[in-house]
Amino acid sequence: MQINKDQLQKVNQQGRARHDEHFDFLANNLTREGVDVNTILKRLAAFQVAVPSWALGAGGTRFGRFSFHGEPGNLEQKIGDVGILHALTQTAGAVSLHIPWDTPTDYAAVKELAKANNLVFDAINSNTFQDQPGAKHSYKHGSLCNTDEAIRAQAVQHNLEVIGIGEKLGSKSLTVWLADGTSFPGQRSFQQALAQTEKSVKEIYAGMPADWSLFIEYKPYEPNFYSTVIMDWGTSFMLANACGDRAFTLVDLGHHLPNSNIEQVVATLMSKGKLGGFHFNDSKYGDDDLTVGSIKPYALFLIFNELVYGMANNPQNPELAWMIDASHNIKDPLEDLLQSLEAIQEAHAKALLVDQEALKAAQLSHDVVKCQEILQAAYRTDVRPLLQRARIENGGALDPLGAYRSMGVREALIGERGKHTVATGL
Ligand SMILES: [Mn+2]
């Protein structure tokens, strides 16, 4: 299904007068403080986050999975779901595919469908954390790091095939996340595993088209519980440097040990021009993949503050590939994604409100109290009217979640697809 624009306009009309009041109040206050509201609206409108195909169905845990009614059962339906998110929010204008779960059968039709939904194909993701049907070798003991040359070669070849698929769709980047690691001390030589991984990623890098980028994701544990080969940003950074100029580190918010200072990681990488991709989610304990902003919204704001600073001050850093990497076990996946998209833009807007000049002055004069006041003044501002205005000016929903519910989108999807569909790959 596609969102009916006329119907959406009608839904928007219901809250329009109230929105105008809230927006005028906020815009007047911000203008008085010297904020250029139109520039912020433009920045919000330009910010597009990719939705990964695997986030459109209900995920699960190793204890089980409870599917959600009307899940997309194929690639075309997944693109349709992202199209719904984009129509409502105007900020989900890209889709990130996972191979082999989303291997297209008809490339022209898939591209046409994406275009009809105003979507582009963002970074494409390979999978060497599962054995594929018919594969000659198993990744049980690692893929790119494996001691067996034939297994490493199979994993490299898979990545090259994924690049080939991405090329046909218009993607310009490959994201590599490895499950490689060990669960017990002594299981494997750390040095050898890292050396083999470096050799393998260099082979993948060498096989990329000249206008492609490689994003190397890291994670400290899980599914292996003693060590992972690419355990942290430093290891990813080292591998990216070993590959070359078009290899970058990818930060996933959930891929850190508790209380890691992710904003500092972001700042460090951007200062070196090596932050390429960014995965949003939230967590309490580990890689929980919860709704963005649901647990630590202030941390998200502080991270965004560094991202906004880096985007303005680090021309050596490329434009980032933004993506939501979350998993929904008990919510309607589309509602969860609408909440995440809202939380991302909220943190983004607040970061844009930080008075960078005043902050710099306060830092130079060692006014620690003032520094905190400046950050928190931005954080405490209710920026939702800005998000609403940016959305409706671009044809989106005033209240995406409210519109999704009042327009009966999930009910329509169940009507089209049936109740008991299961998203591919989940
Ligand atoms: Mn991720």
Distance 388 CA to ligand 1 centre (A): 28
Distance 277 CA to ligand 1 centre (A): 9
**Residue 291 in contact with residue 344, Cβ under 8 Å?**
no
- Sorting pLDDT into bands at 50, 70 and 90, what band is 235? very high
Q: What is the pLDDT of residues 155-211, one digit of tens each?
A: 999 999 999 999 999 999 999 999 999 999 999 999 999 999 999 999 999 999 999
User: What's the mean pLDDT in 373-387?
Assistant: 98
Distance 324 CA to ligand 1 centre (A): 8
Residue with tokens 């990329």: 208
Alpha carbon separation from 134 to 127, 138, 247, 420 (Å, rounded)? 15, 10, 31, 27
Letter string b/e over residues 2-12, b meaning 16 or more CB atoms within 10 A of that residue's CB: ebeeeebeebb
Distance 200 CA to ligand 1 centre (A): 20
Distance 177 CA to ligand 1 centre (A): 7
Distance 287 CA to ligand 1 centre (A): 9
- Sorting pLDDT into bands at 50, 70 and 90, what band is 400? very high
In the structure, ligand 1 is a single-atom ion and the residues with CB under 5 Å from it are 252, 279, 325
Distance 126 CA to ligand 1 centre (A): 12
- Residue 218, pLDDT score: 98
Query: Is pLDDT of 341 > 90?
Result: yes
Q: What is the pLDDT of residues 84-141, one digit of tens each?
A: 999 999 999 999 999 999 999 999 999 999 999 999 999 999 999 999 999 999 999 9
Q: Rounded distance, CA 119 to CA 336, Å?
A: 20
**Residue 139 in contact with residue 189, Cβ under 8 Å?**
no
- Asked if omega into 258 is within 30° of 0 (cis), the reply is no
Q: What is the pLDDT of residues 5-49, one digit of tens each?
A: 999 999 999 999 999 999 999 999 999 999 999 999 999 999 999
Convert the chain into a string of H (helix), E (strand) and C (coil). Answer: CCCCHHHHHHHHHHHHHHHHHHHHHHHHHHHHCCCCHHHHHHHHHHCCCEEEHHHCCECEECCEECCCCCCCCCHHHHHHHHHHHHHHHCCCCEEECECCCCCCCCHHHHHHHHHHCCCEECCEECCCCCCCCCCCCCCCCCCCCCCCHHHHHHHHHHHHHHHHHHHHHCCCEEEECCCCEECCCCCCCHHHHHHHHHHHHHHHHHCCCCCCEEEEECCCCCCCCCEECCCCHHHHHHHHHHHCCCEEEEEECCCCCCCCCHHHHHHHHHHCCCEEEEEECECCCCCCCECCCCCCHHHHHHHHHHHHHHHHHCCCCCCCEEEECCCECCCCHHHHHHHHHHHHHHHHHHHHHCCHHHHHHHHHCCCHHHHHHHHHHHHCCCCHHHHHHHHHHCCCCCCHHHHHHHCCHHHHHHHHHCCCCCCCCC
Distance 44 CA to ligand 1 centre (A): 23
Distance 3 CA to ligand 1 centre (A): 29
Distance 255 CA to ligand 1 centre (A): 8
- Amino acid occupying residue 188: R
**Residue 323 in contact with residue 277, Cβ under 8 Å?**
yes
Q: What is the pLDDT of residues 347-360, one digit of tens each?
A: 999 999 999 999 99
Distance 412 CA to ligand 1 centre (A): 30
**Residue 276 in contact with residue 248, Cβ under 8 Å?**
yes
Distance 68 CA to ligand 1 centre (A): 22
- Residue 171, pLDDT score: 98
Q: What is the CA radius of gyration of the chain?
A: 22
- Amino acid occupying residue 268: T
- Sorting pLDDT into bands at 50, 70 and 90, what band is 423? confident
**How many Cα atoms within 13 Å fall on the side-chain side of residue 13?**
6
Distance 39 CA to ligand 1 centre (A): 30
Distance 217 CA to ligand 1 centre (A): 7
- Residue 229, pLDDT score: 98
- Residue 426, pLDDT score: 65
Distance 398 CA to ligand 1 centre (A): 29
Distance 307 CA to ligand 1 centre (A): 17
Name 6's Cβ contacts closer than 8 Å, sequence gap at least 6: none
Q: What is the mean pLDDT of the chain?
A: 97
Distance 75 CA to ligand 1 centre (A): 20
Length of the chain measured in residues: 426
CA angle 393, 396, 401 (to 5 degrees): 135
Distance 351 CA to ligand 1 centre (A): 23
- Residue 68, pLDDT score: 87
Query: Is pLDDT of 424 > 90?
Result: no
CA 338 to chain centre: 13
Q: What is the pLDDT of residues 71-95, one digit of tens each?
A: 999 999 999 999 999 999 999 999 9
CA angle 108, 113, 117 (to 5 degrees): 145
Q: What is the pLDDT of residues 310-339, one digit of tens each?
A: 999 999 999 999 999 999 889 999 999 999
Distance 252 CA to ligand 1 centre (A): 5
Query: Is pLDDT of 367 > 70?
Result: yes
pTM equals: 0.97
User: What's the mean pLDDT in 56-81?
Assistant: 92
